[in-house]
Chain A
């Protein structure tokens, strides 16, 4: 593809998964000859396995203890990953660049105080005036700062405070679709000249009973031991294993990036999203539409980062779609490796794609039962995410 001034290029990657902190361990696993070893916590939230956070020294990206205390792990993880992305792009502490940098964050929220909620629930079970119990307990037990740690837009707010990113600040919500829309919006703003450089991404804290409850309300959680994502069985639960993930990207127009001599990992060539009914072949039809920009890619040099959620029916649909539309290109389902991360799922896929393209990696299979070996280094990449309830997105990227 020919290069032009308003190409949207990825110049910074900030990623934290159970596989490690930052670019380095992820480049190592993407370039390794052997399949990576998954890290799974199976005891703490039994019967639910989860991909836990790696060991993190928060102070590396959140210098002030006071700032760390104002957040719970979801916001900490996002602020941390955002800092990594800025560092990686060479823009950390560049006050001019950060002061004019746009920001779009895909956020969940609502991190609960499990102890306070339990207290209220237990007291309410003993009394008939439940609403009165609520007023009594909430006024006395809630920490004022918790509200801010729960508010969706306060992840972005904390990034502004800690990293001084203040050009603009927008928070998108809506599960996987939030992550898709965040990157898509950033992409089209840069294309149209409405932004020159944007920090975009999301974070998800999986090690939370309140978030597991959301998925288990539709019996979506896998139970027992970890199994590869393409071969999970219905007798082992709903198929989804959540993972704690922080994933941020610095996107720039080629002009802006080249003028400052930035290292470019990859160009985002196309990105599309949609939603709607998933019955009667409609999901497959939408996916086929979204994948059109990927049709001309050379499969031998392409890697598909599939964000499949693990839900049995969706896995089957996605498998069929990948086989028919992108048949020859090797697939890597990163949700099987680091867990499903809802809002961060699509950004995490782009982060991995950027690193694979930036290093021309021959990415090892994450689940060899379905995933073919790569015969050449990746020159182009496709990232897919099918939301666990709704929303679909596909991005196509190419190496420099």
Chain B
């Protein structure tokens, strides 16, 4: 291998040769990018289920993808399939993919509609709390393989693997809100190990249901500023009050730069470095000193071989929760110090909400698109800046600015932290 294809540590350089994305803003990279740089919000009133009596009645759900049955598995699969079709077309790959699949997918449970259907054919209650005994009796009478498949965590990757001819046992993973970034990291690692020339990295989340919404609401994580919906997500402002739950998917085709060049593929960007560090402070809250987030960003920079001055733009995790934005600012300040005021930092979530499992990959796609187009997407709804967070958030309106290296952060419940460094071309 010639040195042009190796990074600063002698490892194969990993190129992005195909991208696909779906968010509440639409299907496909082009539509998404037009809306995202136009400062359009995809947040809207929930219509999938009644919201009467709920404190949060808005989301960034994806309501326009056709599914054969209204459940999380079908929606998550359909979005993943569509973004993968787009990414493979962009990569100019057809036929069997012949590389591993790394899928970030939401933890899935039976739909309530499935439990209700089961209850309808179950024997009557004989004592309080016996629903599952009755469900089991019903299943002994008549099996329901559809129910079984719909609760298996491996169901989505199975279908993707068959559809796209990926190689081997796919990995389905969850690192909460960092999942998308972790999927990419696993793909990068596999290529660096020399086990494959290419990897399919997919992240999808179509799991917004009444129960999901209520669970996050019970943890006080969601914005309750329902009216107007498009103003609810306002990262880095003083009046931010929680994230807006959303859906989406993204696929990135990763290839060793050498293999990509050898087959004449267009290189859209380089996945230069990945960093991670777990937090032991609390189940839902980050260490107050930002230590793990700081270590994560530093690890990504070190892995990329880029110093603090080399980053031209930061695609923030920027959830619009009081805590995340404060902690993320603290961590960026610690890492970038005097450089930070001159680094634009924007949050896609101001427009698409928090796509949870998909976020890290959706935002990686947008990070690469930022470099490709020389356009920084704005942070919208930035009317009332938090005086404690002094950042150039690319307020409200996109900006033309060429950047050659981007940092994208993802932080999640359970102490999950992952950061990616992407560059425009082999450096």
Quick one: which of B193-237 are within 8 Å of A by CB? 193-195, 210-211, 214-219
Q: Closest CB of chain A to B266's CB: distance in Å? A: 28
Digit string of B143-160 for contact with A (CB within 8 Å is 1, else 0)? Answer: 111011101111001100
Q: Are B139 and A175 touching (Cβ within 8 A)?
A: no
How many residues of chain B are within 8 Å of chain A by beta carbon? Answer: 79
Q: Is B363 an interface residue (CB 8 A)?
A: no
Q: Is B399 an interface residue (CB 8 A)?
A: no
Residues of B within 8 A of A213 (CB): 132, 135-136, 139
Contact A389/B154 with A185-B171, A188-B193 known, Cβ cut-off 8 Å: yes
Q: Are B53 and A153 touching (Cβ within 8 A)?
A: no
Q: Closest CB of chain A to B101's CB: distance in Å? A: 10
Contact A169/B154 with A115-B128, A138-B211, A138-B214 known, Cβ cut-off 8 Å: no
Residues of B within 8 A of A114 (CB): 129, 131-132
Q: Are B278 and A274 touching (Cβ within 8 A)?
A: no
Q: Is B280 an interface residue (CB 8 A)?
A: yes
Name which residue of chain A comes closest to B131, CB basis. Answer: A118
Q: Is A2 an interface residue (CB 8 A)?
A: no
Residues of A within 8 A of B143 (CB): 216-219
Q: Closest CB of chain A to B30's CB: distance in Å? A: 32
Q: Is A313 an interface residue (CB 8 A)?
A: no
Quick one: which of A175-215 are within 8 Å of B by CB? 175, 177-178, 180-181, 184-185, 188-189, 191-192, 194, 209-210, 212-215
Quick one: which of A381-400 are within 8 Å of B by CB? 387, 389-393
Q: Are A166 and B277 touching (Cβ within 8 A)?
A: yes
Residues of A within 8 A of B151 (CB): 110, 214, 217
Q: Is B168 an interface residue (CB 8 A)?
A: yes
Q: Are A161 and B282 touching (Cβ within 8 A)?
A: yes
Quick one: which of A199-258 are within 8 Å of B by CB? 209-210, 212-219
Q: How far is the CA of A131 from the CA of B193 in the complex (A)?
A: 49
Q: Are B139 and A217 touching (Cβ within 8 A)?
A: yes
Q: Are A390 and B154 touching (Cβ within 8 A)?
A: yes
Contact A157/B140 with A136-B53, A170-B173, A210-B132 known, Cβ cut-off 8 Å: no
Q: Is B284 an interface residue (CB 8 A)?
A: yes
Among the stretches B340-348, B367-375, B410-418, the one at the interface with A is B410-418
Contact A121/B116 with A178-B172, A391-B169 known, Cβ cut-off 8 Å: yes
Q: Is A304 an interface residue (CB 8 A)?
A: no
Quick one: which of A139-171 are within 8 Å of B by CB? 139, 142, 144, 147-148, 150-154, 156-158, 160-161, 164-171
Q: Are A175 and B152 touching (Cβ within 8 A)?
A: yes
A-B contacts besides A184-B169, A273-B168, A390-B158, 5 pairs, CB < 8 Å: A153-B414, A192-B192, A194-B192, A213-B136, A389-B149
Q: Is B130 an interface residue (CB 8 A)?
A: yes
Q: How far is the CA of A229 from the CA of B342 in the complex (A)?
A: 66
Q: How far is the CA of A273 from the CA of B169 in the complex (A)?
A: 6
Residues of A within 8 A of B140 (CB): 216, 219
Q: Are A389 and B152 touching (Cβ within 8 A)?
A: yes
Q: Is B292 an interface residue (CB 8 A)?
A: yes
Q: Closest CB of chain B to A329's CB: distance in Å? A: 24
Contact A154/B283 with A180-B169, A188-B195, A218-B148 known, Cβ cut-off 8 Å: yes
Q: Is B89 an interface residue (CB 8 A)?
A: no
Q: Is A125 an interface residue (CB 8 A)?
A: yes
Q: Is A94 an interface residue (CB 8 A)?
A: no
Q: How far is the CA of A144 from the CA of B284 in the complex (A)?
A: 12
Q: Are A151 and B132 touching (Cβ within 8 A)?
A: no
Q: Are B53 and A169 touching (Cβ within 8 A)?
A: no
Q: Is A130 an interface residue (CB 8 A)?
A: yes
6 A-B pairs closest in CB distance: A157-B414, A174-B154, A209-B132, A118-B131, A173-B153, A169-B278
Q: Are B171 and A212 touching (Cβ within 8 A)?
A: no
Name which residue of chain A comes closest to B193, CB basis. Answer: A192
Q: Are B280 and A135 touching (Cβ within 8 A)?
A: no
Residues of A within 8 A of B129 (CB): 114-115, 118-119
Residues of A within 8 A of B171 (CB): 172, 174, 181, 185
Q: How far is the CA of A135 from the CA of B54 in the complex (A)?
A: 7
Q: Are A194 and B278 touching (Cβ within 8 A)?
A: no
Could you say which of A175, A212, A215 contacts B154, with CB atoms under 8 Å apart?
Answer: A175
Residues of A within 8 A of B413 (CB): 148, 151, 153-154, 157
**Could you give 20 example pairs across A and B, Cβ below 8 Å?**
A119-B129, A147-B215, A151-B413, A151-B414, A160-B280, A161-B415, A166-B277, A166-B292, A171-B175, A172-B172, A172-B173, A177-B170, A213-B139, A217-B144, A217-B145, A217-B151, A219-B140, A219-B143, A275-B168, A392-B169
Residues of A within 8 A of B139 (CB): 213, 216-217, 219
Q: Is B64 an interface residue (CB 8 A)?
A: no
Q: How far is the CA of A290 from the CA of B335 in the complex (A)?
A: 46
Among the stretches B105-113, B306-314, B380-388, the one at the interface with A is B105-113
Could you say which of B53, B116, B169 contacts A275, with CB atoms under 8 Å apart?
Answer: B169
Q: Closest CB of chain B to A95's CB: distance in Å? A: 10
Q: Are B278 and A167 touching (Cβ within 8 A)?
A: yes
Q: Is B52 an interface residue (CB 8 A)?
A: yes
Q: Closest CB of chain A to B271's CB: distance in Å? A: 15
Residues of A within 8 A of B95 (CB): none
Q: Is A50 an interface residue (CB 8 A)?
A: no
Q: How far is the CA of A246 from the CA of B161 in the complex (A)?
A: 29
Q: Is B301 an interface residue (CB 8 A)?
A: no
Residues of A within 8 A of B (CB): 48, 70, 103, 107-110, 112, 114-115, 117-122, 124-125, 130-132, 134-136, 138-139, 142, 144, 147-148, 150-154, 156-158, 160-161, 164-175, 177-178, 180-181, 184-185, 188-189, 191-192, 194, 209-210, 212-219, 273-276, 387, 389-393
Q: How far is the CA of A188 from the CA of B153 in the complex (A)?
A: 23
Q: Are B192 and A125 touching (Cβ within 8 A)?
A: no
Q: How far is the CA of A160 from the CA of B284 in the complex (A)?
A: 12
Residues of B within 8 A of A121 (CB): 115-116, 119, 131
Q: Are A103 and B219 touching (Cβ within 8 A)?
A: no
Q: How far is the CA of A118 from the CA of B168 in the complex (A)?
A: 40
Q: Are B284 and A148 touching (Cβ within 8 A)?
A: yes
Contact A144/B219 with A131-B49, A157-B415 known, Cβ cut-off 8 Å: yes
Q: Closest CB of chain A to B296's CB: distance in Å? A: 9
Name which residue of chain B comes closest to A118, CB basis. Answer: B131
Residues of B within 8 A of A166 (CB): 277-280, 292, 415
Q: Are B189 and A189 touching (Cβ within 8 A)?
A: yes
Q: Closest CB of chain A to B254's CB: distance in Å? A: 16
Name which residue of chain B comes closest to A389, CB basis. Answer: B152
Q: Is B276 an interface residue (CB 8 A)?
A: yes
Q: Is B176 an interface residue (CB 8 A)?
A: yes
Could you say which of B54, B120, B157, B277 contacts A139, with CB atoms under 8 Å apart?
Answer: B54
Quick one: which of B68-112 are within 8 Å of A by CB? 105, 107-109, 112
Q: Is B174 an interface residue (CB 8 A)?
A: yes
Residues of B within 8 A of A144 (CB): 215, 218-219
Q: How far is the CA of A189 from the CA of B186 in the complex (A)?
A: 10
Interface centre among A138, A177, A209, A217 (most CB of B within 10 A): A217
Q: How far is the CA of A273 from the CA of B292 in the complex (A)?
A: 33
Q: Is B125 an interface residue (CB 8 A)?
A: yes
Q: Is B409 an interface residue (CB 8 A)?
A: no
Q: How far is the CA of A178 from the CA of B171 in the complex (A)?
A: 7
